[in-house]
Amino acid sequence: MPTVRPHPRYVWQHPAWPQVTFDAAALAPALDQARLELDRLLEAGHVGSGGGFLGGMTTEKYAKITGTSKATATRDLADLLAHGLLRVEGVG
């Protein structure tokens, strides 16, 4: 039986590309805000608290829960869908 080797994981970076780093302290407030928004979204949809997203999640519902514009809500939901965190059930 042949030996199965895992595929190596290489990240190639062109020498002319800028070196990207991040400052964890600078990102912390944005990540904290994202956690708060997600907690609020999940709590609003929790069946035990009277939520459950009756009729599913819509851009309008998301915008109202998070206090964002419809355009931002559309982008946020599209991003969640792209990351597999939401699924489409029906059209409308």
Residue 2 covered by a domain = no
Contacts of 7 (CB under 8 A, 6+ apart): none
* Predicted pLDDT at 81: 84
Structural domains of the chain, count: 1
* Predicted pLDDT at 14: 72
Q: Which domain holds residue 81?
A: 56-87
Residue 88 has what DSSP assignment? -
Residue 69 covered by a domain = yes
Q: What is the mean pLDDT of each run of 10 residues along the chain (92 residues)?
A: 58 72 86 81 66 74 86 90 78 62
* Predicted pLDDT at 70: 94
For 86, list phi and psi in degrees, rounded to 5. Answer: -130, 160
Residue 68 covered by a domain = yes
Residue 41 near residue 59 (C-beta atoms within 8 A): no
* Predicted pLDDT at 3: 60
Cα 73-79-16 angle, rounded to 5 deg: 125
* Predicted pLDDT at 4: 60
* Predicted pLDDT at 71: 94
Separation of alpha carbons 84 and 46, rounded Å: 20
For 23, list phi and psi in degrees, rounded to 5. Answer: -105, 105
Residue 51 covered by a domain = no
